Every structure is written in C-alpha cells, then in structure tokens.
Structure 1
Amino acid sequence: MKRVLNKTLGLFSATLFLFSCGGGSKEPVNEAPTKVNLTYPTQNLLCIDNSIPFDWSDATDPNNDNVSYKIEIATNRELTNIIKTQTATVSNITITLNKGEAHYWRVTAVDNKGKEGEPSEVFAFYTKGEGETNTAPFTAELVKPKDEETISGTTVTLEWKGADSNVGDTLTYDVYFGEEANPTTIKEENLSTTSLEVDIESGKTYYWKINTKDNFGAKSIGQVWSFTIN
C-alpha cells in the first residue's frame, strides 16, 4: 500500500512539474521594422529652396507595432557630423536647412518598443546659396574595399563614386594613399576615372582618401578610409 501511495505521489509531483514548466504563453519576439526607401530629395539633387519637403516610403512592422521614423541630416556622407535629428510619425516632414551647403540624409524606422530597423541608403543634396552659380562636388562615396576591411593579395583596386549637383560639370579626382593615418601623398592626380589599382604588402594597413574637383575649380575633401592586408 505504501509503495502504491509513493508511486501515486511521484506521478502527481511530475505532473505539477511539467505543468509549471510548460504553462503560460511566451512573449513574441520583437522584430525590427522594414528598411525604407528615400523618395525626396533625390540623390545628388540641387535644391533651390532650403525648406525641404523630405519624403520616403512607409515601413511595415512584423509585430504590427506602431512605427515612427528617425531622420538624420549631416554635412558628411558618413553621417558622423549630424546637424539635425528629427522624429516623424508619418513618412514625410519639412525641414529648413542652411543655404549653400551639401547635406546627406537617411531615415530609420523605429517601433514603439524602441527596436530600430536597418537604416536607409544615404542620399546627398545641395541647398543653393543666394547668387550662387557653381557648387562644390559631393564628397566621394566609397565602393571598395570597405572601410577597415581585411583583404588578401598583392594588388587591390580602389573604387569610389563621384557626383555633382551641377549637371554637366566634369569631375576629376586626386587619390591620396599610404601608410599614414592621414595620408598626404598623392598617388594619382587629376584622375578622370573612379578606380585605381595599387600595390600592397602583407601585414600592412593602408589609408586613402579621394578629393573631388569640378572643371570650375571647386573641390570637396574626402573622408579617410583604411584596409588591412593579411
């Protein structure tokens, strides 16, 4: 009788244990909103008015959370010098900026729990100044190798993109390349293409930047990028 009772109590305890471990529903995983696409200002646009009606596509949220949008505007392509950050609950907002400046912007969707989605692409535009006839080119956009990337080989092709809000301007590039963290040696001057092959050595870290010039003498100073060789 005692053995039967112990067995019954054991089964009862096991049932309680399973119930306590498996009972209740799990909180759903909070997923980030989708990436948005920028609509206006379009890439490399010359804006006559400095009151800009920013516009982008709507984001969707996998958990059906409410979504807001973080708009970041900077004076450099890498967005390390952000001059304005604003939040919108709809996919458009009007922002007034200084005239006569190049700007770079992106939008990130954020759900009401603070989960951020992947930032949008970075678009460049220029707000024209009073009486201004020529504007400086936009800073060069990195293509490859990626900043701080580790690569192999004895040569590498540096690639970038150039752009100017003045349609019809001819762009040339000065390529600075070397082992200094702030390269001062010009590897190639007045280059008309957007790529350059350079020799590299194993175990070294190289730094490079692109200064962009138009045919009227206006120039933009590029960001310094780096890569390391295995």
Structure 2
Amino acid sequence: MRKVIFFFFSIAILSACGSHKTDNPAPPPPPAGPGKPTLIAPASNEVCTQGTVISATQSTVTLKWSAADNATGYDVTIKNLDDGTSASLSTAATQVNAILKRNTPYSWTVSAKSAAAATSKSDTWKFYNSGPATVNYAPFPAEIVAPVMNQTVTVTNGKMDLSWNGSDADNDTILYDIYFGDSSSPALLKNKASENILKDVAVVAGKTYYWKVITTDSKGNTSDSGIYKFTTK
C-alpha cells in the first residue's frame, strides 16, 4: 500500500513541476518609423502671396504638409536662399507659421519624428515670399548637385563634370555663368550656359577646386549659388 501511495505522490510532483515550466515570450516589435511627409504649401518654385504682412520687410507664412504615418511630431527647416541662413521650427501639427523676409527666396523641408529612433524627411521645395511693388522676381539660386561642398572626387582621364539645378518663379528663361578654379575666388569658366551640366572640365588629381553658378533670367535679374569647394584624387 505504501508503494502505491508513493507512486501516485511521485506522479503528482512531476506533473506539478511540468505545469510551472517558464516560457520566454517573444519581445514586442520595435516601434515603427515615421512615413515621409508630403509638402503642400507654399507650392514648389512659385511666388507665395498668401502671407500676412507684418511690416514693409516681414510677413507671416503658413507652411503646410500632409500627416506622416506613425509621426509624433515634425521639425521644419527653412533656409533663406539669399544669405544662406537657416531656422528650425518644431510642432506636433501639420502646419506651422513662420515669420519670413519679404521679397526673398526660401527653401524648406519637413522631418517627421516618431517613437522609433529613425526620422523621415520630405522633399525640399523652394518658394519666393512676395514683397511690395515687385513685378519680376530674381531666379532661385542654383542648387549645386555635384560635386557638393567638401566632396572628394575621383578623377578619370583628367576630366570631370559639374552639375546643378535651376528654376525661376516667373518661368523666365534662365542662363548660367559658371565660375571655376583652384582659387577661392574662381574665374569665369563658361558664360551663358543653357544646360544644367558642364562636361569635361579639366582638373588635376590632388588639388582643391572652387566653383559657383550665377543664374540670370531674361529680365536681367541674377542670383548666386555661393562658392562650393571639393578635392580631387
């Protein structure tokens, strides 16, 4: 009888131990990164006339974009294309008011944030903040594509290409003067180019070069990309 009792007691202990087996649950998935914001207004490459005038030199412009998936907030970067200065604004909404100089070109971009560490950036748009008694606007400063600031370029056969993008809020015809050289004040290399690329520019490996693009529209208005430098190897 004692053997039978011991047998059932042993089974009960083993069953109880088995019932308390600890499983390792799968960790929860990481938070999803934000989607890409889509810019809405001011429209790309156009004159913004919707701002609220504050003074002869400033107005308030409302920047708007679409909501990004999983976004908890947004950082808005606005760049003055005349003097190169930038300002940043943060918001949880999908629009923000910015006090800007009148009769001045700007670019802007929006970065979406979420609980994840990653961020997602919108495209970059440009617009002209309208000013008093302006009939025609200067072209937007050329956007340097390649080579960009402080880039190291591998030279092939002693030649390379320079490329940029240009636009004009009035849709005027625009031409480009390209300045290039190994001096921080580069000389004019090509006058009144109509394309956005200058091919087969002669360079030497192991040197630092400087370049810029002056854009001129059909009304004689001009804009300056600013000087960019790069190194060859």
TM-score bracket for this pair, using the shorter chain length: 0.7 to 0.9
On the 8 A contact 1:151/1:227 being kept in 2, the answer is no
Could you tell me which residue of structure 2 aligns to residue 71 of structure 1? 76
Residue 130 of structure 2 aligns to which amino acid in structure 1?
Answer: K
CA deviation map 1:5-38 (0-9, x unaligned): xxxxxxxxxxxxxxxxx97876865564233222
SS in 2 for 1:46: strand
Q: Percent identity?
A: 28
Could you tell me which residue of structure 2 aligns to residue 217 of structure 1? 220
Q: Does 1:58 align with 2:59?
A: no
CA deviation map 1:143-187 (0-9, x unaligned): 2234314223121111111111112x121111111112x333111
| Superposed CA RMSD | 2.7
Q: What is the correspondence of 1:12-161 to structure 2 with a 5 Å cutoff?
A: 29=30, 32-51=33-52, 52-61=61-70, 67-76=72-81, 81-83=85-87, 85-112=88-115, 115=117, 117-147=119-149, 148-153=151-156, 154-161=158-165
On the 8 A contact 1:183/1:209 being kept in 2, the answer is no
For residues 28 and 210 of structure 1, the distance between their equivalents in structure 2, rounded to whole angstroms, comes to: 49
**Structure 1 stretch displaced more, 154-163 or 27-36:** 27-36
Rate the CA distance shift 1:141–1:150 in 2: closer, same or farther, 3 A: same
Unmatched runs of 5 consecutive residues or more in structure 1: 1-21
Could you tell me which residue of structure 1 aligns to residue 190 of structure 2? 188
Could you tell me which residue of structure 2 aligns to residue 162 of structure 1? 166
For residues 229 and 41 of structure 1, the distance between their equivalents in structure 2, rounded to whole angstroms, comes to: 39
On the 8 A contact 1:105/1:123 being kept in 2, the answer is yes
For residues 38 and 171 of structure 1, the distance between their equivalents in structure 2, rounded to whole angstroms, comes to: 26
On the 8 A contact 1:108/1:116 being kept in 2, the answer is no
Could you tell me which residue of structure 2 aligns to residue 176 of structure 1? 179
For residues 186 and 202 of structure 2, the distance between their equivalents in structure 1, rounded to whole angstroms, comes to: 17
Q: What is the correspondence of 1:1-20 to structure 2 with a 5 Å cutoff?
A: none
Q: Report the count of equivalent residues.
A: 202
Shift of 1:110: 1.6
Q: TM-score, normalised by structure 2?
A: 0.75
CA deviation map 1:170-214 (0-9, x unaligned): 21111111112x333111122222211211112222221101111
Residue 229 of structure 2 aligns to which amino acid in structure 1?
Answer: S
Rate the CA distance shift 1:80–1:59 in 2: closer, same or farther, 3 A: farther
SS in 1 for 2:67: coil
Residue 86 of structure 1 aligns to which amino acid in structure 2?
Answer: L
Residue 78 of structure 2 aligns to which amino acid in structure 1?
Answer: I
Could you tell me which residue of structure 2 aligns to residue 6 of structure 1? none
SS in 1 for 2:50: coil
